[in-house]
Structure 1
Amino acid sequence: MTSVHPSEQPAGPSAPPPGVSETLAAGRILPVVVLEDARAAAPLGAALTAGGLRTVEVTFRTDAAVDAIRAMSEDPRLFVGAGTVLTPGQVDEAVAAGARFIVCPGFSPRVVAHCQQVGVPVFPGAATPTEIQMAIDAGLDTVKFFPAEQLGGVPMIKALAAPFRAIRFIPTGGVHTGNLRDYLGLPSVLAVGGTWMVAPGLLAEGRWDDVTELTAAAVAAARKS
């Protein structure tokens, strides 16, 4: 499918459907999951919901991604998205498996346009003023700020939010319990993406009680911010 030229995009910022932004804002934390085995998807989803979260991003970093998205999407308590999406084809695979939103590490006009064409919310990565301006030109109002800590963290988001007052950020990369509240204390931050409660070692060993405990602690910290 051909991409849409920037001049053909909506003129002004538009938010994702209320269900997406409201759900992310309610939990304020988006677990970023890398699953090697789709059989772990269902117990992982149960562990996350037990800890108080309803949203999860399953990344296209492994061959198990599509099956994991499909399995987690069967749980009505979960709001499942696909991450590390790099191509329009992956968008189609994710949506067919039940993904309700798309997250990209960078800004791809082709991927963003395709998401808009198929009607799925997309949060592209944006690390510079130019990329944020591209997102605005594409009719978006929320971007992933990645990798957050390496790009300057909280001070950088403050600087970017000053001229781009309508943009909301989902900082991801280097976010942890020690700096979680600093990020969530920024008015421009919708939610943060994190991996500490879904670390690969926990998933590989099936330590679901630990996932629930870490998730609950993160949710409690987010509520205090």
Structure 2
Amino acid sequence: MLDLRLGLSTPPDPYTDCGCFDDVSTAVPSPAAQAAQRRDDYVCQFCGFQSAKYQVCHGSEASGADALVTACIFCKQVMELDLVLKMRSAVLIWLPELSQVAINYSMPEVYVNRLARGATGGRARDLRDRLIARRELAKARFGSDEPAELIRRLRAASDDRSEIDNALADGLRILPLDRRIIRSGQLEFNQFPQILAFWRSRSGPFATGRTRSFERLELDLAGL
């Protein structure tokens, strides 16, 4: 796996230049992106999450498939955090118990299981609520639970990211939400239900039901 590093998108920014995010999120992937995803077997090269649909690429498309790697939507928004603002797709939490990679890999299953009936659904909803509660610790330790504040500090840091890197090392994390606001023409909609429906479908990564990552996540966070 490649190192997952917090960052910002490089110009042209898909918001300020295009006024939307649909060129990245709803359009058919470019031939270079399709080739890179096939090469990577649709596996995120940062956390290991595999899905035949709704993966993206990270890198420079202008240089072709060799310059691209497959990324899941959760890892992508860590590496290009400013994309979170209009998608409204994440919050900051304080969770030293888990790495950012572990969170990104596990949250798809939490959201899938949250829709399950019976005990599994209840456990997933409880787990997500306990994660959301860690926003208060982010406010106390970092001063905010809003990604906009982290983006502001990233932009102000220039070449000295020591304050941010120390916060990340101590426990600052980006928690993906079940929301991904996309603009298509004059309309905005939440794309996440579509993504979730595919993840749960026969062609999706959870077609056979719950995997061990959900149980591991419960064990790791048993003390929350």
Q: What band does the TM-score fall into relative to the shorter chain?
A: under 0.3
TM-score by length of 2: 0.26
